[in-house]
Amino acid sequence: MHLLDTDTLTYLHAGHPRVENRLRALADPNVATSVITRIEILRGRFDFVLKAATGTELVRAQRLLTRSEELLAQVVTLPLDQRAANEFDRLRTMKNLGKIGRADLLIASIALSHRATLVTRNVRHFAQIPDLIVVNWID
């Protein structure tokens, strides 16, 4: 299984050719994202709607929110289940991971609990996490 991080899913949504080609070339048909990525994407879209200053911006923000919801509906979203919570508890006690933010630690926990390869642009950041397989489809 491949778990798409927020940056990768955003590039896929934008039609980035490398991401689209890598997705098509996958031998493994199991591709998902995490509930954390879903939250991050929708939170950004909701903020855009709430902060729109003009009618034109409101319509654009609504259109982008709808497109994001449609994209997310096409991708399996892995939840924070007990296995992921156990991984999170294990990871957050590791001193060398102190600089990794909570959301990234949650995404890594979900990936580890499903033995998924994490697809992210931020390989170096996630490479600190033991046993996590990380790849970059963007650069």
Task: Give the start-to-end residue ranges of the domains of the chain.
Answer: 2-37+78-135
Nearest to 37 by CA among 82, 79, 84, 5: 5
pLDDT of residue 65: 96
Question: What is the DSSP code (8-state) at residue 59?
Answer: H
Residue 99: phi and psi, rounded to 5, are -85, -5
Nearest to 31 by CA among 138, 111, 139, 127: 111
For domain 2-37+78-135, give the CATH superfamily.
Answer: 5'-nuclease (3.40.50.1010)
51 contacts 59 by C-beta, under 8 angstroms: no
Nearest to 108 by CA among 73, 80, 139: 80
Angle between helix axes 102-113 and 82-92 (nearest 10 degrees) is 130
One-letter amino acid identity for 41? I
Averaged pLDDT of the chain: 94
> pLDDT tens digit string along 52-93?
999 999 999 999 999 999 999 999 999 999 999 999 999 999
- What's the pTM? 0.91
